[in-house]
Amino acid sequence: MRVITMIVIVSILLVISIIDFKIKIIPNQLNVLLFISGIWSGFVFQEVTFLSRFLGVFSVSIPMFMLAILCSGGLGGGDVKLMAASGVLLGIKWNIFAACAGLLLGGLYGFFLLITKRAKRKDCFALGPFLCIGIAVVFFRYIFMKV
């Protein structure tokens, strides 16, 4: 059951990454699917407590939502919902770590685009794929390492 759950979650993250990279939108249906998978993973992977999963929903999504409102155009609603759904999957501690990893990767990609002159400072790119990488790495880390 663990392997099937892992395949489903990674598949959802992969589809989110591809769609967001191509059209810069994360469909709500995929975020809902990840949220439901996160709830299911609570029964399969009991390494993360229910309280941690509950708090994980808000740990990153609330600050990202506030940033999205303050800096219009910087973050999309799909990114905020993605991190709320990943909070159910990862719990508070690992969700924060996944967000930091994703933001770091996205920042490095943005820096690369700037120094290679492929983008200008005000241009935007999809952040979802980088957040998904952070989520996947953390998910595999705590599943396989049982930390």
Angle of helix 128-145 relative to helix 2-23, nearest 10 degrees, comes to 160
pLDDT number for residue 146: 57
Does residue 65 have a pLDDT over 80? yes
- 147 pLDDT exceeds 50? no
**What are 80's two structure tokens?**
């905020």
The C-alpha atoms of residue 51 and residue 48 are separated, in whole angstroms, by: 8
> Is residue 126 within 8 Å of residue 78, measured between CB atoms?
no
How many CB atoms are closer than 10 A to CB 52? Answer: 19
Phi, psi of 72 (to 5 degrees): -60, 135
CA 18-76-89 angle, 5° bins: 65
Alpha carbon 46 to chain centroid, angstroms: 20
Q: Are 60 and 54 in contact (CB under 8 A)?
A: no
Report how far residue 87's alpha carbon sits from residue 84's, in angstroms, rounded to the nearest whole number: 5
pLDDT above 70 for 4: yes
Average pLDDT over residues 113-135: 94
pLDDT per position as a tens digit, 16-34 = 999 999 999 999 999 999 9
Tokens of 117: 């002159």
CA nearest to 96, candidates 125, 43, 60, 48? 60
| Dist CA 72 CA 19 (whole Å) | 22
